[in-house]
Amino acid sequence: MTVDELALPDFSLEPFTPSTPPQVLNQFVESLRPFLTRCVAVFNGKGGQGKTSIASHTAGLLAEGEAAKAAEGQPAGRVLLLEVDAQGNTLHDLGVKGHPLNDDGKSLAIALQFGDLPKIIRDVRPHLDVVPSGRQLEQIPFQMVTMQSRHGQAANLSLAVMLAKLSREYSWIVIDCPPVTKEAQLLALCAARWVLAPVSTGDSSSIDGLGGVSHRFEETAHLNPDLELLGAVLFGFVHRYYTDRKTKEKRPVGMWVQARERIQALLTEAGSDAPVFQAVIRAAEGVAVNCRDRGQLSYEIAEASDGIKWWQKKRGESGTVLPTERAEEVGRDYEDLVVEIVERVTQVEREEALAA
């Protein structure tokens, strides 16, 4: 049964108080979950792991896939990108920081508190919409105190309720989570069906960020029993390969190889069947800087026609030197990742349908 075929429940937190019986809250949770089956939160409990870049690229490429379906005359949906971080960097990534509807997250903050719908910037790319975020989201921790005094634990479902109301418009919803604001993290994980966890290094601090993911899973289990780790993705690693002189066999070497093995072992030890995705987002600081400066994603930088070569710049020609070849490589990394994401989600959906 599709979302369009489901009857809409009363998406409201108003009936809930701190004394609402747990079974009543559980029934409400069950009514919400079918509307959020393709909601992906990009989350790691440590900053600097590439969450926003991965969220923006994932949403952009998912939307590109929907646009391709539409061009072929197939049924196509839309993608919504939502950031619950006060930094608002997704708007920079997509080049809409100066959009007239960008209210620094004010409408989102109001929607979370009062059950309204937020402002949505439509068609930032074909089939891609984004909810503006920004400094106004710094008030979320204070809002949650007030909401919990009124609605108890149900207050943590406010983002889930908001997105469930919008779910019939969107095939995919991608949430960019903050690294440190607990209240915003709980809102995101109570809404999401899947968590995509980036890891930027193989050291203990980055691994500890995955521990933060596990801790939040435990905190939200009673409000989102369907939450599942989609997988871990290696971000910002140098791709190195060693070629054997005799056999000509090419094998990967370097920190990313050890990081993959270590993270996969940790996931297996924790009883998770989530993979460390084969796609690795390579280190390319120049590409990242150009993406944010230009408000373009890496594969869009690669396709840009207004850049010039370094040697043209050296001889005095005007223009911006774009690392287009490098950007193309990074773009392919993200494309590979999104293919794996879609394959894993659809595989689990097929298995669940057969088991039903």
Band (146; pLDDT cuts 50, 70, 90): very high
* 311 has a pLDDT exceeding 50: no
Which H helix or E strand runs over 67? helix 51-71
- Taking the C-alpha atoms of residue 94 and residue 295, their distance in angstroms, rounded to an integer, is 5
Q: What digits encode the pLDDT tens for the residues 12-48? A: 999 999 999 999 999 999 999 999 999 999 998 766 6
pLDDT for position 290: 81
- Find out whether 174 and 135 touch, Cβ atoms under 8 Å: no
Q: Which CATH architecture has domain 29-284?
A: 3-Layer(aba) Sandwich (3.40)
* 180 has a pLDDT exceeding 90: no
pLDDT for position 83: 94
* 274 has a pLDDT exceeding 80: yes
Task: Quote the percentage of the chain above a pLDDT of 90.
Answer: 58
The more confident residue out of 2 and 194 is: 194
- Taking the C-alpha atoms of residue 156 and residue 179, their distance in angstroms, rounded to an integer, is 17
The more confident residue out of 310 and 64 is: 64
Q: Which sequence spans correspond to the domains of the chain?
A: 29-284
Helix (H, G, I), strand (E, B) or coil at 276: strand
Give the tokens for residue 134. Answer: 């920004």
Do strands 39-42 and 194-199 pair parallel, antiparallel, or not at all (unpaired)?
parallel
- Find out whether 81 and 174 touch, Cβ atoms under 8 Å: yes
pLDDT for position 289: 82
- Find out whether 38 and 163 touch, Cβ atoms under 8 Å: no
* 184 has a pLDDT exceeding 90: yes
pLDDT for position 5: 60
Sign of the four-CA dihedral 153, 154, 155, 159: positive
- Find out whether 305 and 334 touch, Cβ atoms under 8 Å: no
Band (310; pLDDT cuts 50, 70, 90): very low
Those residues whose C-beta lies under 8 Å from the C-beta of residue 302, and which sit 6 or more positions away, are 324, 325, 327, 328, 331
- Taking the C-alpha atoms of residue 185 and residue 171, their distance in angstroms, rounded to an integer, is 22
Among 153-157, 209-213, 272-276, 326-330, where is mean pLDDT lowest?
A: 209-213
The full length of the chain comes to 356
